[in-house]
């Protein structure tokens, strides 16, 4: 019997790619973030314009990234693009700020939101929710979804499919309710839609930060490009369909909010969706916390599924310990990377003051998108004949890059301290890179310890590094000759690529 190569399986299709994008983007943000947009722009009309343009910007970015994703269909997304274009340092800085802070902080907040809504639903809306209970429930959720992702990537994708549907249903409920409200003749909030607009460039740019935070997650599908059955076909279609639907849903959802609530009421609300439901749905308003819980549940699952692939890719490139690149020989999942990511999420629950970290890291996210656009232009210049199954018109990445530059510069006039901290978070990875990667002599002192850790994890998780296609073929040939005992155990080095 020919041995199966130890590598990630291509088990995700177009539906999974579509739902992964939708599931990652639609989190708790759309249910609470609209008040941030209206706070900065001040008017109904400008608020809706910001949400619609943010959706178009997301679609534009998605199409640009699809060229990179189909040209380099490897697990790791932006990390891989930066590594191939500019080398290990920029890639490591992206890996550092994303793995250690940005996505983990965001996911931890979403997990806490789920736990808080669940406890409030069980206790009948008790306002004094015990902090310890919220943290414990959030930890249980993280552990459960980490286990699901370890067991089977298809299970994780099916969880995403189910809960993505519930998220869309929640938004449809809001949209239909708002439409009925408008149909009943309640049009007062739409008289003078541009009245009170704050036309300052810095304020408008910061409002885009608020809305783009709710769209955040569209780029995560590239983390699992290698596990798509047909990335050349599925990536462009999934990105286009998902970003189009998201733009329509988000814009109409905010139109519904603003049909019922005045800008002042939205700004004063702690949770816009709940205030909206209490005002319009009556007894059925109790369903809104359930919808929010389903939304956050699916978001956490998506973060674990995709963020673990980023850790896996970093280890495979040699910028994280080799042990993180182990693949389960039973489930064919990056089990150690998933466990490590779960532990990092649990560590985030030690503090409740993670919102500030999230705000600071938004600037870093925009900067990494700009870096990837630089990679796209670099590949166009250095490797013009490289196969590109999907190629965007050059004007699109140019427009996207110009917009990113404005989004980086203009908020600095509004919140210079936040921008400074965002840069500091990225820069903090420089000494880590120097001592662990650049200075091989220092890092080499830990080789034996890391080697023991790798062996221990191989035994504990039944994992092996991915096998190169050539080694897998040789193992299969040796097995046919009856001498495959030792060869089948040979494994590739960290920079081996999956099929």
Rounded CA separation 399/461 (Å): 46
**343-355 as b/e: b if 16+ CB within 10 A:** ebbbebbeeeebe
Q: What is the pLDDT of residue 397?
A: 92
- Residue 319 three-state SS: coil
Rounded CA separation 457/325 (Å): 11
In this structure, the dihedral spanned by the alpha carbons of residues 433, 438, 440 and 446, taken in order and rounded to 10 degrees, is 0
Phi, psi of 443 (to 5 degrees): -60, -30
Rounded CA separation 194/46 (Å): 6
* First-residue to last-residue Cα distance in the chain: 21
Q: What is the pLDDT of residue 381?
A: 92
CA 221, distance to chain mean position in Å, is 8
Q: What is the pLDDT of residue 32?
A: 66
Q: What is the pLDDT of residue 497?
A: 37
> Would you state the structure tokens that stand for residue 467, as one six-digit string?
């096998």
Rounded CA separation 290/42 (Å): 30
Positions of the chain with pLDDT under 50: 354, 468-499
Give, in order, the Cα–Cα distances in Å from 497 to each of 71, 215, 234, 468.
14, 30, 20, 7
Q: What is the pLDDT of residue 477?
A: 45
Q: What is the pLDDT of residue 228?
A: 66
Residues ≥6 apart with Cβ < 8 Å to 15: 161
* Closest to 422 measured CA to CA, from 438, 411, 434: 411
Answer for the pair 37, 207: CB distance below 8 angstroms, yes or no.
yes
Q: What is the pLDDT of residue 439?
A: 76
Answer for the pair 167, 20: CB distance below 8 angstroms, yes or no.
no
Q: What is the pLDDT of residue 317?
A: 72
Q: What is the pLDDT of residue 357?
A: 52
Rounded CA separation 27/213 (Å): 10
CA quadruple 76, 24, 245, 56: dihedral sign: negative
Answer for the pair 363, 418: CB distance below 8 angstroms, yes or no.
yes
Q: What is the pLDDT of residue 361?
A: 61
Rounded CA separation 77/80 (Å): 6
Q: What is the pLDDT of residue 468?
A: 43
> Would you state the structure tokens that stand for residue 111, as one six-digit string?
């997990």
Q: What is the pTM of this model?
A: 0.70
Pairing of strands 327-328, 463-464: antiparallel
Q: DSSP string of 446-489?
A: GHHHHHHHHHHHHHHHTEEPPPPHHHHHHHHHHHHTT-HHHHTT
């Amino acid at each position: 019997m020919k041995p199966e190569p130890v590598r990630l399986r291509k088990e995700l299709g177009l539906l999974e790619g579509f739902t992964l994008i939708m599931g990652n983007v639609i989190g708790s943000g759309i249910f609470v973030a609209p008040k941030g947009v209206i706070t900065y722009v001040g008017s109904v009309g400008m608020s809706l314009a910001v949400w619609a343009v943010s959706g178009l910007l997301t679609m534009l970015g998605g199409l640009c990234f699809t060229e990179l994703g189909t040209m380099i269909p490897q697990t790791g997304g932006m990390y891989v693009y930066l590594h191939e274009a500019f080398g290990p340092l920029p890639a490591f800085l992206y890996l550092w700020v994303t793995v250690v802070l940005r996505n983990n902080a965001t996911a931890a907040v979403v997990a806490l939101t789920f736990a808080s809504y669940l406890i409030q639903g069980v206790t009948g809306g008790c306002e004094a929710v015990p902090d310890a209970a919220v943290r414990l429930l959030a930890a249980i959720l993280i552990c459960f979804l980490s286990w699901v992702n370890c067991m089977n990537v298809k299970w994780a994708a099916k969880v995403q499919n189910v809960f993505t549907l519930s998220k869309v249903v929640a938004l449809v409920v809001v949209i239909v309710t708002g439409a009925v409200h408008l149909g009943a003749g309640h049009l007062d909030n739409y008289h003078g839609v541009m009245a009170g607009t704050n036309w300052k460039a810095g304020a408008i740019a910061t409002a885009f930060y608020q809305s783009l935070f709710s769209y955040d997650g569209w780029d995560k599908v590239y983390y699992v490009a290698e596990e798509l059955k047909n990335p050349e076909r599925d990536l462009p279609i999934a990105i286009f369909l998902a970003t189009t639907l998201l733009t329509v849903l988000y814009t109409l959802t905010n139109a519904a909010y603003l049909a019922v609530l005045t800008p002042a009421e939205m700004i004063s609300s702690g949770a816009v969706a709940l205030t909206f439901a209490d005002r319009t749905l009556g007894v059925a308003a109790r369903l809104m916390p359930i919808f929010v819980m389903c939304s956050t549940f699916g978001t956490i699952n998506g973060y674990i599924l995709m963020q673990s692939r980023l850790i896996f890719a970093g280890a495979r490139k040699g910028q994280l310990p080799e042990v993180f690149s182990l693949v389960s020989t039973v489930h064919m999942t990056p089990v150690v990377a998933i466990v490590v990511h779960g532990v990092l999420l649990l560590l985030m629950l030690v503090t409740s003051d993670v919102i500030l970290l999230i705000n600071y890291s938004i600037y870093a996210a925009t900067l990494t998108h700009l870096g990837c656009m630089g990679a796209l232009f670099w590949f166009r210049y250095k490797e013009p004949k490289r196969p590109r199954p999907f190629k965007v018109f050059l004007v699109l990445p140019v427009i996207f890059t110009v917009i990113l530059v404005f989004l980086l510069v203009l908020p600095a006039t509004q919140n210079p301290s936040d921008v400074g901290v965002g840069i500091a978070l990225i820069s903090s990875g420089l000494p880590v890179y120097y001592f662990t990667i650049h200075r091989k002599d220092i890092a080499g002192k830990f080789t034996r310890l890391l080697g023991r850790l790798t062996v221990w994890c191989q035994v504990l998780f039944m994992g092996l590094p991915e096998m190169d296609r050539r080694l897998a073929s040789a193992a299969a040939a040796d097995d046919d000759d009856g001498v495959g005992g030792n060869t089948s155990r040979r494994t590739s080095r960290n920079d081996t690529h999956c099929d």
